Amino acid sequence: MPIRVLDATVAAQIAAGEVIERPASVVRELVENALDAGARRIVVEARGGGLREIRVQDDGCGIPADEVELAFARHATSKLSTADDLWSITTLGFRGEALPSIAAVAQVICITRVANADVGVELRIAGGEVQAIMPRGCSPGTTISVRNLFYNTPVRREFLRSDATESAAIAAVVTQYALAYPEVRFSLSIDGRTTLQTSGNGDLRAATIEIYGLDVARQLLAVDAAAGEGIDHVHVSGLVSPPGLTRSSRAAVHLFVNRRAIQPRGQIALVLEEAYHTLLMKGRHPMAILNISVHPAAVDVNVHPTKSEVKFRNTIQVMSVLGRAVRAALLESGVRPWEEPGIPASLDTAQRRFELRRLGTSHESAWDTPSWMTAGDERGSASFHVRNWRNEGQSGAWQREPAAASSLSPTVQTSKLPPLRIVGQIAQSYIVAESPDGMYLIDQHAAHERITYERLMAQRGAGMIESQELLIPQVVDLPPTAQDVLLAAADRLAEWGFVIEPFGRSLRVRAIPAVLYPGDLATALLEIADHLSERSGTTPRDWREAMLITLSCHTSVRAGQTLSFDEMRGLVRQLEQCASPRTCPHGRPTMILLTITQIERQFGRAK
């Protein structure tokens, strides 16, 4: 074949393949653009695994009408002008490749408005060809809708996996950014169902609660260490799991460099895991949400088209701060792997110390937001929120978030609870909340039972109950008959996250379901043994129900426990997402309402 110059469309499709490998790449690029545009709220919607439609809506700065066409031209960027700028990149994008690449392989509608323009603009572009551009009324910000991805590159389409897999990859991308930017309010809906929503209150632990649940989030240890000056300055901050809380993959290792997500592989991942020294069992990985903040000139982000790998100017320095930061967090929690490698502190000790620290006078500092998370004008402290609520006028008083939610079309939320504003906690057992109809008292333990019950049901449905290994396997003494029954059912128990084995005349437990409070282990096992030995028909369904109730009953949020504001908010938000939020799995109420009329009657103001 003679040499020929490729026509522009084919060339664009080839180039697009480098940036846009799958639907999740589109989400990543659009979310990065929204963040670069200073958005405080980002709504992501995906349909049909992201192939049918991906829609990303933000309340950022918008694109001026006369530049919108240019934004879709190759190498057009507002973020970089000279080659030198490559060494001081503070934005997530800079290559000017995303929009043209997406437009080369999909049908794109971009609706955008800058705040000071009277009217916005709508651009339609497909297969790289502009099809229409017209004025359009819209709220400030940008909405980009990407339809029929890869419609003109069928081969690429064939390489994709199932819709469910692609949707999961999309969720993983949004999760990453929700964790890297806790001050931005994210929501993700997949095929019309809201699957992720963060408050955007700026607190990393609060965002973690939304993603991993309260049980896991509250166990994570705060990491915060810095070293060096000027261009050598390195700051590592975030959260890591205690050694007992592990995963079988690195799916829960979220690493960021200057808040840009990077792959949890190579040296960074090794340094992180080495900090746990001998405390990680073979094949197990910690959970981590860590940002490494360095001088923009001390990192090269331009080594890969998807920007998911970086090169540091001073790798040794970065790795040493990272290792030290994580070790310090573990040390503070009571684990001393490098001093006594043979005798790791038991999970119970670590948890007890963690609890003491949380409840004690150092309460505030233990839950401090890492400094990189508080950048910007919104801070995550409880007082900020209380203040904000008070400042709201009558009309806005019942909006859940003070953010610019009103300018965006509301996401469909089928919560069966009214909007609740947390007031505080009483008797270390009940959450006091206000709603338009009056005052709610929420039983924190019953509420958590309900949440755990539904969470477990979903995990069980997906065949993946989260299991937590015990640092020191726990020997439990139960009546011999109970032990026999349990050991005989070891396989069935393994499906629920229990790893048990005989140990002399006792029973040894190596792992338990992550939701289970380790202190209740013996009681829970005894209950399970009772279910198992029940003569009267244990159908698989009865057994499942019994397990769900037993496990959700012995969870870590208990009566008599002080909860922080974020924990209360997290709990209530998770409760809202439950199918039956008003009762616990035993059928008792999770909350009681005292209406305004009832209160007024008590005060003799009304009859």
The tokens for 550 are 């037993």
Reference 172, options 46, 347, 317; nearest CA is: 46
**DSSP string covering 54-77:** EEEEE-S----GGGHHHHTSTT--
Residue position matching structure tokens 């000139």? 297
Using CB atoms, what's the residue nearest to Mg ion?
93
DSSP label at residue 5: P
| Residue 94 in the binding site for ligand ADP (CB under 6 A) | yes
Reference 142, options 36, 217, 236; nearest CA is: 36
| Residue 243 site contact among Mg ion, ligand ADP, none (CB < 5 to 8 Å, cut-off depends on kind) | none
The amino acid at residue 566 is D
For 63-100, b/e burial (b = at least 16 CB within 10 A) is bbbeebbebbebeebbebeeeeeeeebebbbbbbbbbb
Residue 33 or 189 with smaller CB distance to ligand ADP: 33
Residue 29 or 576 with smaller CB distance to ligand ADP: 29
Among 24, 61, 234, 511, binds ligand ADP (CB under 6 A): 61
| Residue 456 in the binding site for Mg ion (CB under 5 A) | no
Reference 286, options 294, 275, 297; nearest CA is: 275
Query: Any residues with CB less than 8 A from the CB of 193 and at least 6 apart, and which?
Result: none
Reference 514, options 530, 496, 502; nearest CA is: 496
Residue 98 or 271 with smaller CB distance to Mg ion: 98
Segment near ligand ADP (CB under 6 A), from 3-11, 90-98, 369-377, 469-477? 90-98
| Residue 120 site contact among Mg ion, ligand ADP, none (CB < 5 to 8 Å, cut-off depends on kind) | none
- Specify the 3-state DSSP secondary structure of 593: strand
Shortest approach of ligand ADP to residue 6 CB, angstroms? 21
- 438-443 β-sheet, strand order: 421-426, 430-435, 438-443, 591-595
Binding pattern for the stretch 78-117 against Mg ion, x by CB under 5 A and - elsewhere? ---------------x----x-------------------
The tokens for 421 are 């504003």
Segment near ligand ADP (CB under 6 A), from 76-84, 268-276, 498-506, 584-592? 76-84
Q: What number of chain residues touch Mg ion (CB under 5 A)?
A: 3
Residues 23-42 within binding reach of Mg ion (CB under 5 A): 33
| Residue 260 in the binding site for ligand ADP (CB under 6 A) | no
Cβ atoms of 105 and 150 closer than 8 Å: yes
Residues 362-381 within binding reach of ligand ADP (CB under 6 A): none
| Residue 570 site contact among ligand ADP, Mg ion, none (CB < 5 to 8 Å, cut-off depends on kind) | none
DSSP label at residue 583: B
Segment near ligand ADP (CB under 6 A), from 96-104, 378-386, 417-425, 566-574? 96-104
| Residue 202 in the binding site for ligand ADP (CB under 6 A) | no
Residue position matching structure tokens 């004008």? 377
Among 12, 24, 27, 33, binds ligand ADP (CB under 6 A): 33
| Residue 182 in the binding site for ligand ADP (CB under 6 A) | no
Query: Any residues with CB less than 8 A from the CB of 538 and at least 6 apart, and which?
Result: 531, 532, 546
Q: What number of chain residues touch ligand ADP (CB under 6 A)?
A: 22
| Residue 128 in the binding site for ligand ADP (CB under 6 A) | no
Among 17, 49, 50, 93, binds ligand ADP (CB under 6 A): 93
Query: Any residues with CB less than 8 A from the CB of 559 and at least 6 apart, and which?
Result: 427, 428, 429, 443, 444, 445
Among 23, 96, 182, 380, binds ligand ADP (CB under 6 A): 96
Residue 101 or 550 with smaller CB distance to Mg ion: 101
| Residue 99 in the binding site for ligand ADP (CB under 6 A) | yes
Segment near ligand ADP (CB under 6 A), from 6-14, 59-67, 156-164, 258-266? 59-67
Which ranges in 333-429 belong to alpha helices (H)?
A: 347-359, 363-366, 382-391
| Residue 178 site contact among ligand ADP, Mg ion, none (CB < 5 to 8 Å, cut-off depends on kind) | none
First to last CA, the chain: 94
Residues that bind ligand ADP (CB under 6 A): 29, 33-34, 37, 58, 60-63, 71, 76-79, 93-99, 142
Residues that bind Mg ion (CB under 5 A): 33, 93, 98
